[in-house]
């Protein structure tokens, strides 16, 4: 099952805020023996968000969408999800109760009466309006739930909320995908060879070991190794050692200098 990430917000594309979700999700996945297949960024523009979500729903992938699920004018994700699905937006009963519970908590903290019918509190209920048929994702920070439709999961843009919610989704709904965490990647620092020269070797290793991907990361100004290629294999742990050995054996034919070996 491929895993994808959609990050929504003008503030990311303008540089006002730096995205932290991509590296964190990679970390969460790696801790469970999983990996990210793709990621997309979208600004606060409904047509673009709707198109990206329509693709996510149709893909069958496990997808996290971060941001835009609040109730201010620049939050469009809930509406775009409904449009992408062709479903109406409805107030989720469990999400409503959690929002009311949050109102009670805040009123008690501030020493004020609990008044759920005030205009601002009624507006807060909009944060529990999701596409029909959605399931909630609990928010341990402030009880304002995220939501899931199929394999697409919507969480807030705030890391303090989004990250534990993503962990909850992975551990509650996808534990069957978790794998034992072991060596997932082996690579070498190769000097004195060109990528074009090594390409047939890379293609041969991928052909002979179908569960393996070969990668090549060239660098021209590394402070330690200067011009070099990090050449390696990743993927199926059952074939990793054999594929790596084949890669090393093939490199010997080119007279390339191996400066270092790395295991991740």
**Do 61 and 171 belong to one domain?**
yes
Domain containing 25 equals 3-177
**Do 81 and 139 belong to one domain?**
yes
**Do 85 and 126 belong to one domain?**
yes
Which pLDDT tens digit goes with each residue over 209-222?
998 999 999 998 88
**Do 172 and 253 belong to one domain?**
no
**Do 100 and 13 belong to one domain?**
yes
Domain boundary (127, 147, 177) is at 177
pLDDT at 182 (0 to 100):
60
CATH number of 211's domain: 3.30.70.2860
Q: Which pLDDT band, with edges at 50, 70 and 90, does 181 fall under?
A: low
Report the domain count for the chain.
2
Which pLDDT tens digit goes with each residue over 83-116?
999 999 999 999 999 999 999 999 999 999 999 9
**Do 147 and 240 belong to one domain?**
no
pLDDT at 261 (0 to 100):
87
pTM: 0.85
Q: Compute the distance between CA of residue 77 and CA of residue 98 in angstroms, rounded to an integer.
A: 20
Q: Which pLDDT band, with edges at 50, 70 and 90, does 183 fall under?
A: low
**Do 61 and 158 belong to one domain?**
yes
Q: Compute the distance between CA of residue 45 and CA of residue 59 in angstroms, rounded to an integer.
A: 21
Domain boundary (160, 177, 194) is at 177
Q: Compute the distance between CA of residue 13 and CA of residue 66 in angstroms, rounded to an integer.
A: 14
Q: Is 110 helix (H, G, I), strand (E, B) or coil?
A: helix
Which pLDDT tens digit goes with each residue over 6-54?
999 999 999 999 999 999 999 999 999 899 999 999 999 999 999 999 9
Tokens of 178: 């978790």
CATH number of 50's domain: 3.40.980.10
Domain boundary (177, 197, 215) is at 177
């Amino acid at each position: 099952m491929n895993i994808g990430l959609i990050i929504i917000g003008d503030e990311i594309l303008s540089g006002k805020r730096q995205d932290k979700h991509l590296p964190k999700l990679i970390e969460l996945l790696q801790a469970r023996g999983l990996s990210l297949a793709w990621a997309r960024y979208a600004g606060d523009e409904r047509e673009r968000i709707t198109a990206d979500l329509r693709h996510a729903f149709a893909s069958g992938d496990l997808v996290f969408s971060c941001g835009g699920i609040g109730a201010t004018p620049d939050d469009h994700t809930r509406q775009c999800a409904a449009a992408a699905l062709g479903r109406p937006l409805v107030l989720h009963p469990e999400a409503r109760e959690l929002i009311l519970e949050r109102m009670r908590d805040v009123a008690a903290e501030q020493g004020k009466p609990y008044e759920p019918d005030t205009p601002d509190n009624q507006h807060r209920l909009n944060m529990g309006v999701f596409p029909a048929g959605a399931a909630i994702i609990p928010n341990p920070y402030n009880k304002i739930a995220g939501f899931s439709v199929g394999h697409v999961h919507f969480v807030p843009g705030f890391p303090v909320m989004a990250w534990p919610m993503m962990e909850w989704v992975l551990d509650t709904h996808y534990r069957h995908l978790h794998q034992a965490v072991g060596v997932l990647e082996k690579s070498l620092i190769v000097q004195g060879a060109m990528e074009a020269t090594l390409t047939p070797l890379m293609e041969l290793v991928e052909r002979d070991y179908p569960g393996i991907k070969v990668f090549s990361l060239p660098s021209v100004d590394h402070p330690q190794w200067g011009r070099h290629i990090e050449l390696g294999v990743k993927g199926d742990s059952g074939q990793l050692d054999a594929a790596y050995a084949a890669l090393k054996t093939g490199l010997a034919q080119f007279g390339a200098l191996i400066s270092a070996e790395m295991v991740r």
